[in-house]
Each structure stands twice: as structure tokens, then as C-alpha cells.
Amino acid sequence: MSTNQSIALLNEMAVFAKVVETGSFSEAARQLGATPSAVSRAIARLEKALGTQLLQRTTRKLRLSESGRDIHQRCREMLDAAQSVLAASGGFDAAPQGQVRVSVPKAVGHYLVHPHVPDFLAAHPRVDVLLRLEDRYMDLIDEEVDLAIRITDQPPPGLMGRRLTRIEHLLCATPEYLAQHGTPQHPQGLKTHSCIYLGEAPGDARWRFRRQGERVTVEVRGRYAANHTGVRLDAVLRHLGIGSLPYFVAREALAQGRIVQVLPQWSFRTHYCGDLWALYPATRHLPPRLGAFVNFLAERLAREPTMADTGEPG
């Protein structure tokens, strides 16, 4: 395709990106100030020029075809680049606008991200947020997600990111439970206690500890396992045993004295500890709406208390 042909299709590419963003021909038409039939014709012209079907239409929704996913990403990059050019020249209203689609683990989304979303929406009235709380791995392009918030050592290949905060876990129990069953002084002492653990994989019952140069792994047992942090916290509060919890879930109950940390002199290690990152596709042109959300969240999470603030091992 020649340069002239490409230029002639820029409007159609922009329309295509808007249809994908809104998920509807009619809503895209409303936001573009056009008619649904005009939007449909623009998509048809683009599909004909490219020689491929971009959208799979059903009675309920639109889905990107396999080739459509890749082409949509390129169209978004084109629009982001255009906005960067206009912003650099002072000819563009750089106020963030559009929808930010975010995938985040359930507990992190509920306890760390969601509480700040209302303030973000108030600060950016032209930006909408779609928050998808899910623990599974996902491909950002295939799933049409702008941002994935995940625990990782560094951004995976093909992604860029920004570190948000540190996720640490600890063991907790109520004073009532410990008064009745005793307080373990060493990780091996957990073998005589009812322990509340994640329970998704066999390794979740193997608790690992570290203190200076000493490392200990203990196979724990208990009558209750749950793969939801809120449920495990409630189970601990109901005196069912010693539970493993992220610090950001336990900290309020700890501050209130309703639960206490068990084995505080030991660092409790799990696969779910580590740096929390905001990850997005590698691009030189980060959309203003996405940049605004990442910056806002990073600033807010930097204020969140961590275990390091308490002086406890992390």
C-alpha cells in the first residue's frame, strides 16, 4: 500500500479504533458526531483496503478478528502518536480522555486500587475506568487491556512498566486463639496449629521463612483453606487459626489490635510477595489517559504504609 493510500485511510483507521474502544457502532458514531451507517461504511472501506475482516459481528457484541487485534494496536499507536505531535505544538487539548481498561489481581484491586479510583475519576472527568479483577495471566493485546497490574521482578518482554509498591505477606492470629492454643516461637511450632492458607496448589501449604542466614520450610495443616484474602482474614478474626495474609489486607485489624502478627522476627516468604508493577505495551507514545492513571496510582500507593514502616521483617 502506497503512502497516499495510507493517508487516505487515516480517518477510517481512527473510526476503527473508536469502534473497538466503545464496543459499539452506535456509540462510536455518537462520540464522533456521525451516523452509525457512516461508521459502518468506514469500517467496510478499511476492511476492503486491507483485504481482511477486522470485526466479527454478532447480535450481542463485536469481537476483534485475529488480524483485527494486531491492526487495532497499530491504529491506537497512530492516534497516540498524532496526539503527541499536536500536544508538542500546543495545538491539542492535552486533558486525558477516553477509557482505561485495567486488569488487576482480585485482592490488590479490591484493597489497593479501587479505593483510589473515585478520586481519580473526580480529578479526570473525561476519563472512564474499566477495572477487571482477575488473578489469571492475560495477554494485553488479545484481551484488549490497556494496563495490567501484577507482581513481578521486572516487566516481561514486550512490556514497559512502573513500579508501584512492595507486596509483603505475614502470619496473623487473634489474641484469643493464641491464648487458647499458645504462641509459636519458631516456624516448626506451626505444625501443632490450625493454619489457614491459600489452598490453590500443594505448595501453598509449604510456608517458607527466613531470619538472617537461617531458612526454614514448614508443611502446615489446617481445617480451612481459602483462595480469597478477605475470607482468610475473616477466618482469622473468627479464631479459626493462624492465617497467611498480605500486609495491606491485615494492617487495619493489626492497628486495631483485633489480630497480632505471629513470628514477627521471621520474614514470611510466598510466591505472592514482590514488587507490584503497572505494565503496558511498549510504546514511545503513552496515551495521556493511561499516563494519568499510572501516575495517579503510583503517587497514591507510594503513601500506603508498608511493613518496612512498622520495622517488621519484610
DSSP 35-93: -HHHHHHHHHHHHHHHTS--EEE-SS-EEE-HHHHHHHHHHHHHHHHHHHHHHHHT-S-
* Distant-in-sequence, close-in-space partners of 99: CB < 8 Å, separation ≥ 6: 21, 127, 128, 129, 130, 289
Task: Indicate the pTM of the whole model.
Answer: 0.70
Bridge partners of residue 210, in order along the sequence = 215, 267
pLDDT score for 91: 45
Write down the pLDDT at residue 114.
97
- What CA–CA distance (Å, rounded) separates 212 from 47? 62
- Backbone φ and ψ of 247, nearest 5°: -60, -35
155-183 confidence digits (pLDDT tens): 888 788 999 999 999 999 999 999 999 99
Distance CA 166, CA 149 (A): 12
Low-confidence stretches of the chain (pLDDT beneath 70): 1-6, 58-60, 83-94, 138-142, 284-285, 309-314
Q: How far apart are CA 103 and CA 105, in angstroms?
A: 7
